Amino acid sequence: MICFPNAKINLGLNIVEKRSDGFHNIETVFYPINWCDVLEVIENKAFQKGNEKINLSLSGIVVEGNTQDNLISKTYKLVNAVHNLPPVKAHLHKVIPMGAGLGGGSSDAAFFIKLLNDKFSLNLSITEQMNFAKQLGSDCAFFIENKPVYASGKGDVFSEVEIDLNQYCIVVVYPAVHSNTALAYKGVVPAKPQKNIQSIITDEIKNWKEDLVNDFEKTIFLQHPELQNIKNTFYSVDALYASMSGSGSAVYGIFKNDVDIKEFNFSNNYLIWKSK
């Protein structure tokens, strides 16, 4: 059984306050895009090494570390502890860049929960799937329902939001820069914004430029000026709105009409995704 875990972009991101548990409360809108990994699982009764019941293989973008420490393996172990799953062979073909603010790892974990649920008829409710996902990452639960939401708290409290960008062209650029999220947080002074993101996104996209901000940009752009250059390039080619996603380092632009990515003159080292 195969699925295609997709990425997300952040429409605005405000760091509102530091919590007593050391995390931060944020406000943002998560919006899914179709930049996808490929994830497969099959039952593998012949495989079991000690307590290990998942044999994970990887391809595509190189994922560092031991496969047993991979989020896919952790997801299997979490669900298996409750539902005693059969041994499986899983394969992840990694396409979504890591350290990009696109939620690729969280998406892989969430989609694997859904894949296990379907493959082995676990009959997990949406709430049960989301509860598993919340144990794996702050934004992981978003990918269970995989629809636009206003996210608050640690990025794990969701409210419905009405927004549809399907009629626009979205271009996402990852410049092979790995953003350090912990360092990004250190450069931000938490503060509640004057305008709530929920109200800003009800306005026309062309008006977002002044009010819809990502609090991480100031710090990250100082560390990596090329990200600011990408954003400026988008606006020079008539983007309605451009921003860094999450804590970076991917930067996206939203355009009224289809664009030819060749006119951006980006480096051949950049990974680029376009919605249409």
Task: Return the amino acid letter for 125.
Answer: S
- Residue that has been written with the tokens 């912990």 in this structure: 182
Question: From CA 271, how far away is CA 268, in angstroms rounded?
Answer: 8
Question: From CA 207, how far away is CA 193, in angstroms rounded?
Answer: 17
- Residue that has been written with the tokens 């979504």 in this structure: 96
- Residue that has been written with the tokens 């636009």 in this structure: 148
Helices then strands, each counted (H, E), the chain: 9, 12
Q: Is 18 a catalytic residue?
A: no
Q: Is 8 a catalytic residue?
A: yes
DSSP state of 218: H
Which of 37, 108, 139, 215 is an active site residue?
139
Strands 24-36 and 6-18: antiparallel
Partners of 158 in the β-ladder: 151
**Which active-site residues does the annotation give?**
8, 139
